[in-house]
Amino acid sequence: MYGLELSRGLLSKGVQKASDALQTPYEQLMGQLPYEYYLGVDETGHKDDGKLHWSWCFQNSRYGVFHINPSRGSQVLKAVLGETFKGTLGSDYYSAYQKYMKDCSVLIQYCMAHLIREIRFLAEHSNITLSRWGQKLLEWMKKLFETLHRRADYTESGFNRRMERIKQGFLKQVRRPPDHKLARKLKKRFKGKKADNYFVFLTDPSVEPTNNSTEQAIRYLVIDRLVTQGTRGQKGMRWCERAWTVVATCKRQGRNVFEFIHEAIIAHWTNQQSPTLLC
Query: pLDDT tens digits, residue range 15-64?
Result: 999 999 999 999 999 999 999 999 999 999 999 999 999 999 999 999 99
Domains of the chain listed by start with CATH number: 20-108+211-269 (3.30.420), 115-191 (no CATH)
pLDDT over 70 percentage in the chain: 100
Per-residue model confidence as pLDDT tens digits over 69-108: 999 999 999 999 999 999 999 999 999 999 999 999 999 9
Helices 8-21, 234-253: axis angle to 10 degrees equals 60
> Looking at residue 255, what is its pLDDT?
97
What is the pTM (predicted TM-score) of this model?
A: 0.92
Mean pLDDT of the chain: 95
| Residue 1 reports pLDDT greater than 70 | no
* Average pLDDT, integer, range 135-156: 95
In the chain, the amino acid numbered 140 is W
Q: What is the mean pLDDT of residues 133-144?
A: 98
Q: Are 125 and 138 in contact (CB under 8 A)?
A: no
pLDDT, position 190: 96
Residue 62 · residue 253 · CB < 8 Å: yes
What's the confidence (pLDDT) of residue 276? Answer: 97
Sign of CA dihedral 78, 79, 82, 87: negative
Arithmetic mean of pLDDT, 143-157: 94
Compute how many other C-beta atoms are within 10 angstroms of the C-beta atom of residue 183.
20
